[in-house]
Amino acid sequence: MNRKSWIVVLGMCCVMGLTGCFSLGEPPTQGEQSRVEFSFRGGLFSVATPGCFFGCSLRRAMVVGAQEKIGTQSMERAIPVTQAKSSDPSVFQVQSFKHNATCCTKTQGGESCSSSMPCTTGRERHSYTFEVKAVASGSAKLQLLGADGSVYDSVVLRVAKPTRVEVVVKEVEGDEQEKPLVHAMLKANKSYHVTARAFDESDSPMQVGKAVTMTLSSSDVAVFEGGLLLRKTTTTARQDATVRMICNQQGKVELTVDVAGIKTQIPLQIQK
């Protein structure tokens, strides 16, 4: 989705009256050679990265230890990219590289795309997805290379430790909005989504994919999903930095949230 399409979709959302339409997504980041646009692809409904309905700008830093997917926008011609690499693997590493080609033809309803190749009756569109892992604080370039080893396009990625962590909670089957966990009233025999969010020195959201670990001090009153029989008290959050916590009885327990070594301890009171 290019900038023009992004603006059109955003405008349609506002016309339809969707709540928070100005936080549906961020424009992609243009490459240094202005050939490709990049964005973080943490998931269509990524609650850990507010404002990322359609993707996040690469202006956001990754927290140390995070694993994220980065995608390019579809291009209407073949782009000669055969590999992706980090200019400094000590800052971040490229772990996978995937090419997606589609053939799109016009229809009465608009456009129909398929993966059938070669594309003889329509327009070829090409996009790429990369999985990267943040290793240490610093900046380095994600470089897209052609078959001859030359740089087709590149973009800077920044890795840092968070300066602030926020933990929010929302009842799985409830209608209430999420709220800070420190202010939440939790009830026995209920399940909750607990989400960690990280912010950098300018208080901007950071990408935290798979870099969040949560630990309960006891399994007596609460456990994590999949742990009711195993009494699971430690878990690594999924891509959107969310875990499911099951409160099975009244009592007190302490939750420790670890984001890139920054630990937040929250005492919880489970009520009837």
Partners of 251 in beta bridges? 270
On whether both 206 and 119 belong to a single domain, the answer is no
CATH of the domain at 219: 2.60.40.1080
- Cis check for the bond before 118: say yes or no (omega within 30 of 0): yes
Q: Tens of pLDDT along 23-49?
A: 355 788 999 999 889 999 865 444 445
Q: Tens of pLDDT along 177-213?
A: 889 998 889 999 999 999 999 999 999 999 998 899 9
pLDDT-based confidence at 92, cuts 50/70/90?
very high
CA distance 80 to 101: 12
List the domain range (segments joined by +) for residue 188.
164-271
Domain-located, residue 2: no
Measured torsion, CA atoms of residues 50, 56, 61, 65, in degrees rounded to the nearest 10: 80
Domain tally, the chain: 2
The amino acid present at 248, given as its one-letter code, is N
- Given 160, 181, 207, the domain boundary residue is 160
pLDDT-based confidence at 229, cuts 50/70/90?
low
In angstroms, the first-to-last Cα distance of the chain is: 48
The CA–CA distances, whole Å, from 169 to 48, 55, 94, 191 equal 11, 22, 32, 10
CATH of the domain at 67: 2.60.40.10
- Predicted TM-score (pTM) of the model is 0.80
CA distance 254 to 218: 8
Kind and range of the H or E run holding 252? strand 251-259
- Given 138, 160, 182, the domain boundary residue is 160
On whether both 27 and 147 belong to a single domain, the answer is yes
On whether both 150 and 256 belong to a single domain, the answer is no
